[in-house]
Structure 1
Amino acid sequence: MSDAGHRGSVPYDPAPLPVEEAVEMYLNRRRSDSDTTVGTVETHLKRLNYLIEFCELEDIENICDLRGHHLERYREWRRTEATTKVESLAAKTIAEHMKTIRVFLRSMEQMEYVYPGMADRVHVPGLSDEDEVNEDILEYDRAQNILSYIAKSEPWTADHSVWELFVRNGVRLCTARAPDIEDYHSEADVPYIELHHRPDTDTRLKNGTDSERKVFLEEQTAKVLDRYIEHNHPKETDKHGRMPLIGTVHGRPNKSTIRGMVYKWTRPCHLNKPCPHGKTPDNCEAASSRETPSACPSMRSPHPIRKGYVTHLAEEGVPPRIVGDRVDADPEVLKKHYDQSDDEAKMRVRQELIEHALDDADEENWY
């Protein structure tokens, strides 16, 4: 049987297109889609760069030369060989990578650069409940200890302010980056940040306008922000003429800059603590660069801090709906992906809530 594809009953051969050009064409198509974020394009670029590398190794010049057996080999190569920091990729990670390959090939099918049905030949591994839940978390106590260290060594700085927002308020990275100084209301009875989704000026919120809300700040966080703005804020506007709440000498920080503020402080050696992995700053790649998070097993990104905060609230007995409103997340999502409390801790919370409710009922003579 011929490899030639069919459009209805008319056979056709896909037009030859170099793999690298095919990837760029796909990314340009995504960039022109108003529903596609810059972050999504960057993520797809990183993943598809592995496909380009694989095709070079396999001597596949044009995307139309890709076959099902190549896709099978690519998945295993990406999982076990195209890794430098771990022995093999986690099931969830490889599944996400293969989903990107499938979406990419679907686009190539539409433009008739691959044979019909190629996207359907991409196998996306199924995930168990355990695979779907990322256990990576920065425990609340550890996060508080790091924050205390920063407060002593670099008080009232951008790093100090960012850590306050992450540790005491559980915000997302985009939430820490998006607000302007004028969105911060320190003189209110309860200090708060007013969040706005502004996609036309490069400050999107995770859930668009649904993420717009007022986030109250703990007194300590407001104090840090006030002193940061007064003493250390560079007072430089971004390219859109807005003054960011967290600033740099170039204006608004990019996401990698904020990640770097977290990476460096989660390295034990940066806190003058012994390395739990048997290394010294002189022989450790991660000690000299905050841009290589996976090089240090102890290093964490902002998201695990958020998970630690949510788990802390859950262990303190804060109802899921209140936590969800606070951190802009669905209670069911919180339960599955964020709350890392063990069963005994959850039982104690339920016990305390019920006993507290019964005590209140007894005092009010409700029964």
Structure 2
Amino acid sequence: MSRTNRVPEIADETDTEKLLRQLQQATEATLEPTEPEEALELYVEDKARECRKSTVASHRSRLGFFVDWCAEQGIDNLNNLSARDLHEYRVWRREDLSVNTEKTQMDTLRVFVEWCETIDAVPSGLFKKIKSPSIPDEEAARETTLHVSDAKEIVEYLRRFEYASIEHVAWVLLTETGMRMGAARTLDVGDYRPDADKPHLDVVHRPETDTPIKNGPRGERRVGISDDVCAVVDDYLEHQRPVVTDDYGREPLLATVQGRIAKSTIRRYVYKRSRPCTIGRECPHDRDPDECEAAVDPDHASGCPSSVTPHPIRRGYITYLLQAGVPVDVISDRCNVSPKVIELHYDVRSEEDKMRQRREVLDEILRDGSGDR
């Protein structure tokens, strides 16, 4: 008995084209015309319900470039946004950006486009077409560090020439505690506890009065401080701190005549003093301090190749503790940073160094244990 293989009939080409057109029209019919700027405002409003102000501001800033680019390209309806458009934007945006910054920009854009699907502003699945550079862990972890020895030299200079000034106190807090700049800004006079059994600072999350901290309530902690730190802060409070409250009637520890210090002011202090020439060192960049704009104008201090932001102070502090053999969980609690992040971004010890430090701790424990017998 013979068997005949039947070949399915191929639909007429015009029928196929008609079907595809109908599917495309059905998809387009589900989309709501949305201007890029309108989508951004809706997105920011939604984000504000679940994120801190600083995070929302960062997203608005990054996505602002995308909205501007859309305007230049004549894209006034996100319904028409394509994978080709997104690629062209990435090529345009990454000019003069580091790989890390490009990744941050494109990751934020992907989150935004995915959110736009929830309001029927873009075709389904479009966010998956957004490419972001892949960065190896070791490259992502290579960040600028201000070594503890350099930070202490700056603090010593301030002790000699600007003792107990607000700038001196800001540097002391950052270098002696490893706390984030934002945490230092949140401190009130009442959070300074020099008379406790163990002098410390209370780091408290107070978002309702504009002083949130990283990780919210989970980031609240007591940070022990030394007698030397207390001496500087005591003299600052007695002789230098202006009698002032912030907009909420609180007494900020780091205060100017306007009230609570701004993050930008702390950042300016760090840029200013991390320039080697300002503490009597020779310029390592072969520049003439009398002609170098970064040297003669504090507003351009960030232009010095040696100047840093506040975070490298924290990174140097954590790295120093690790190299000194302080257990990771102790550093984690003190500095409000997870062990995983410490390992990835701060731990520059070799495996041999780690083994040696573990052995020293074990030897000390075993030695103490045998002494109790």
Q: Please give the TM-score of this superposition, normalised by the length of structure 2.
A: 0.85
Give the whole-Å Cα distance in 1 for the aligned partners of 2:31 and 2:358. Answer: 64
Matches within 5 A, 1:224-263: 224-263=232-271
Of 291, 313, 320, the match for 1:312: 320
Displacement of 1:283 in angstroms is 4.8
Give the whole-Å Cα distance in 2 for the aligned partners of 1:188 and 1:3. Answer: 75
Instruction: Please name the residue that 1:26 is paired with.
Output: 43
Q: Please give the TM-score of this superposition, normalised by the length of structure 1.
A: 0.87
1:43 partnered with 2:43? no
Of 154, 169, 182, the match for 2:162: 154
Matches within 5 A, 1:342-361: 342-361=350-369
**Shift in CA distance, 207/293, structure 1 to aligned 2, threshold 3 Å:** farther
Displacement of 1:323 in angstroms is 1.4
Of 121, 124, 130, the match for 1:116: 124
Give the whole-Å Cα distance in 2 for the aligned partners of 1:263 and 1:4. Answer: 58
Instruction: Please name the residue that 2:92 is paired with.
Output: 77
**Shift in CA distance, 98/213, structure 1 to aligned 2, threshold 3 Å:** same
**Shift in CA distance, 108/201, structure 1 to aligned 2, threshold 3 Å:** same
**Shift in CA distance, 290/93, structure 1 to aligned 2, threshold 3 Å:** farther
Q: Which amino acid aligns with 1:23?
A: L
Give the whole-Å Cα distance in 2 for the aligned partners of 1:342 and 1:185. Answer: 38
| CA deviation map 1:262-317 (0-9, x unaligned) | 11111223223333233334554533565667633212112111111111111111
Instruction: Please name the residue that 1:105 is paired with.
Output: 113
Q: Which amino acid aligns with 1:205?
A: I
**Shift in CA distance, 218/11, structure 1 to aligned 2, threshold 3 Å:** same
Report percent identity of matched pairs. 37
Q: Is the 8 A contact 2:182 2:263 kept in 1?
A: yes
Q: Is the 8 A contact 2:186 2:213 kept in 1?
A: yes
Instruction: Please name the residue that 1:60 is paired with.
Output: 75
Instruction: Please name the residue that 2:184 is paired with.
Output: 176
Backbone CA RMSD of aligned residues: 2.6
Q: Is the 8 A contact 1:263 1:291 kept in 2?
A: no
Q: Is the 8 A contact 1:169 1:217 kept in 2?
A: yes
1:89 partnered with 2:89? no
Q: Is the 8 A contact 1:16 1:62 kept in 2?
A: yes
Q: After alignment, is 215-224 or 67-76 more displaced? A: 67-76
Q: Which runs of 5+ in 1 are unaligned?
A: none
Q: Which amino acid aligns with 1:78?
A: R
Give the whole-Å Cα distance in 2 for the aligned partners of 1:22 and 1:251. Answer: 36
| CA deviation map 1:135-168 (0-9, x unaligned) | 3211111111111112122110111111111111
Give the whole-Å Cα distance in 2 for the aligned partners of 1:59 and 1:144. Answer: 54
Equivalences, count = 354
Instruction: Please name the residue that 2:12 is paired with.
Output: none
Give the whole-Å Cα distance in 2 for the aligned partners of 1:51 and 1:292. Answer: 29
Q: Is the 8 A contact 2:32 2:120 kept in 1?
A: yes
Displacement of 1:13 in angstroms is 4.8
Matches within 5 A, 1:284-303: 284-287=292-295, 295-303=303-311
Q: Which amino acid aligns with 1:305?
A: I
Q: Which amino acid aligns with 2:40?
A: V
Give the whole-Å Cα distance in 2 for the aligned partners of 1:5 and 1:224. Answer: 70
Instruction: Please name the residue that 1:11 is paired with.
Output: 29
Q: Is the 8 A contact 1:158 1:247 kept in 2?
A: yes
Displacement of 1:197 in angstroms is 1.1
1:145 partnered with 2:162? no
